[in-house]
Amino acid sequence: MWNPHQPLSKSTRYGLAGSSYLLVLLVWSAIAFFELASSNALPAPWEVAQGFMVLASYNEAKESYLLVDATIASVTRIGLATLLVTSIGIPVGILMGSSPKINAVVGPLLDPFRSAPIVSVLPILVIWMGIDEALKVAFLVLGSVVYLVPMTRDAIVAVPREAYISLKDLGATDLEAIRHGVLPMAMPRIWDAVTVAVSIMWTYITVAEYVNADSGLGQLITHAKRFSAMDQVFAGILVIILLALITNISLVAAKRALFPWETE
């Protein structure tokens, strides 16, 4: 039991994970069944399932599938933000990790934001960027870039010195030693950083879509809350959690496929 290195078989692992989900569902059902909480505060699982069905089915009034449209909108925003944040954040992180001087200049500007309440800059962002699509994507980028950049830098710094020195000894220039020695070694951890960045975006999506809510899962939840449709609020949140989970699992699986040498 108390051994951090104890190997678990797949069936044990999935069995335990499944039963913990089941336990939560059971407790939740019990609370609803015995009416220990008002259905306004905590709707029953079956009510949430109904709420989900309402969202997922064709909406006559709006002439569309609300959940499908909202999911597409949110996923598109996160996809776009991921593209932006990686194409800015990874190069900056690599530069900072590769040169202590650059790190000394950029680091102090960036590091405080890791613990700053990024949500509080939203009003400023509104002034700068308006309230349309650009704002939502910019907020997601801002929220995740303050994690992606330092994590990328740390990934570079964590590569053992030997990687750099060995390449220098083989006749590499400084940049070649980074490019052919350090960078390939840092890639798995940089991938981890991207995974974290995307996860963070999923946690910020409701905030991003709160302003001028016109589409997306965040809007769906805000809208449902306004009409006190708690079942739909819960259904929306569960959909976000599920999507975040799927993203995460795919990125972890992709890592294993991209960097098979790391686990060898």
Partner 1 sequence: MAYGIQLQGITQCYPDPSGEGEITIIEGLDLCIAEPNITMLLGPSGSGKSTILKMMGGVRPYGVVTPSGGTVSINGELCTGEHPDAVMVFQHYWNRPDLTIAQNVALPFRLGLWKGRVSENEQKERVTWAMKMCGLEHRADNRPAQLSGGQNQRVAIARALALKPKILLMDEPFGALDAQTRKEMQALLIQLRAETGCHVVFVTHDVEEALLVGDRIVVLSTHRPSDIALDFNLIDPKPRDDLWLRSTRIGKIETEVFRALSGEGSPKDLRELGVEVNR
Confirm if 150 and 111 have CB atoms less than 8 A apart.
yes
CB of 171 to partner 1, least distance (A): 3
Of 245, 237, 241, 208, which is closest to residue 80 (Cα–Cα)?
Answer: 208
To partner 1, the closest distance from the beta carbon of 100 in angstroms equals 15
Contact window for partner 1 (CB under 8 A) among 14-22, 61-69, 112-120, 167-175:
167-175
Listed in order, strand segments (DSSP E) in 75-203 are none
Q: Alpha-carbon distance 158 to 104, whole Å?
A: 17
**89 lies in the site for partner 1, by CB under 8 A:** no
Stretch that binds partner 1, among 22-30, 57-65, 80-88, 254-262 (CB under 8 A): 254-262
Give me the phi and psi of 55, to 5 degrees please.
-65, -35
**Minimal distance in Å, beta carbon 169 to partner 1?**
5
- Closest-CA residue to 95 (of 164, 145, 146, 149): 149
> Is residue 162 a contact partner of residue 212, using CB atoms and an 8 Å limit?
no
CB of 47 to partner 1, least distance (A): 51
Number of residues in contact with partner 1 under rule CB under 8 A? 22
Q: Does 105 bind partner 1 (CB under 8 A)?
A: no
Specify whether the CB–CB gap between 51 and 59 falls below 8 A. no
Answer yes or no whether residue 27 interacts with partner 1 by CB under 8 A: no
CA–CA gap between residue 185 and residue 191 (Å, rounded): 11
**166 part of the interface to partner 1, by CB under 8 A:** yes
Nearest to partner 1 of 62, 161 (CB atom): 161
Neighbours of 206 (CB within 10 A): 20
Nearest CA-CA partner of 240 in 200, 193, 191: 200
**If binding is defined by CB under 8 A, does position 180 make contact with partner 1?**
yes
Residue 176 in the binding site for partner 1 (CB under 8 A): yes
Examine residue 172 and tell whether it contacts partner 1 (CB under 8 A).
Answer: yes
Q: Which residue among 13, 174, 245, 254 contacts partner 1 (CB under 8 A)?
A: 174
| 163 part of the interface to partner 1, by CB under 8 A | yes
Q: Which of 19, 29, 173, 250 binds partner 1 (CB under 8 A)?
A: 173
User: Does position 169 bind partner 1 by CB under 8 A?
Assistant: yes
Stretch that binds partner 1, among 15-23, 45-53, 156-164, 223-231 (CB under 8 A): 156-164
Residue ranges in 181-240 that form contacts with partner 1 under rule CB under 8 A: 181, 184-185
Exposure pattern of 75-96 as b/e (b: 16+ CB <10 Å)? eebbeebbebbbeebbebbbbb
Surface-to-core class of residue 36, CB atoms within 10 Å of its CB (0-12 exposed, 13-18 middle, 19+ buried): exposed
| Binding status of residue 162 toward partner 1 by CB under 8 A | yes
Q: How far apart are CA 25 and CA 33, in angstroms?
A: 12
Binding residues for partner 1, rule: CB under 8 A, are 162-174, 176, 180-181, 184-185, 259, 261-262, 264
